[in-house]
Amino acid sequence: MAHLTDKIRTLLGEPAYAGPLGEAPLDDPACERLLRLLSITRDDELSCEAVFNCLDEYVDCLEGRGDTAGRDLLVAHHLSFCADCRDELVALIHALESAADY
Ligand SMILES: [Zn+2]
């Protein structure tokens, strides 16, 4: 796996691991995570920013009140592997539930 690590590091233009005071190492678990994410990435993948910008529409769509212009499947796909966007979705849902209580 070290050979693959070096190849990915080279492709990403990453310097060799500088030790405990340097950048986070591109170690084997990080490489495996990167490769897993690359394997599930679609050609029409949405960015986190694009997902964030349509989360309110996505929540409306989940509740049967709106339309994401066909992006709901792409948003759902992105949410299946992006913890940051899932956190944003949960925060939005909690905020909407709190607002509905008043
Ligand atoms: Zn995301």
Average pLDDT, the chain: 81
Range name among 8-12, 69-73, 98-102 with the lowest pLDDT average: 8-12
Q: 19 vs 25, which has greater pLDDT?
A: 25
Q: How far is the CA of 82 from the centre of ligand 1 (A)?
A: 5
- How would residue 87 be classed by pLDDT, with cut points 50, 70 and 90? very high
Q: How far is the CA of 27 from the centre of ligand 1 (A)?
A: 23
Whole-angstrom Cα distance, residue 29 to residue 52? 28
pLDDT digits (tens, 9 = 90+) for 30-52: 888 888 888 888 888 999 999 99
DSSP annotation of 14: P
Q: How far is the CA of 60 from the centre of ligand 1 (A)?
A: 19
C-alpha dist (Å) from residue 74 to 3, 37, 47, 49, 53: 34, 15, 10, 13, 13
Q: How far is the CA of 102 from the centre of ligand 1 (A)?
A: 30
- How would residue 64 be classed by pLDDT, with cut points 50, 70 and 90? confident
Each domain of the chain, given as residue ranges in start order, spans: 2-40, 48-101
Select the highest-mean-pLDDT range: 23-37, 54-68, 80-94.
80-94
Q: How far is the CA of 32 from the centre of ligand 1 (A)?
A: 19
Whole-angstrom Cα distance, residue 3 to residue 7? 6
Q: How far is the CA of 38 from the centre of ligand 1 (A)?
A: 14
* pLDDT computed for residue 29 by the predictor: 87
Q: How far is the CA of 44 from the centre of ligand 1 (A)?
A: 14
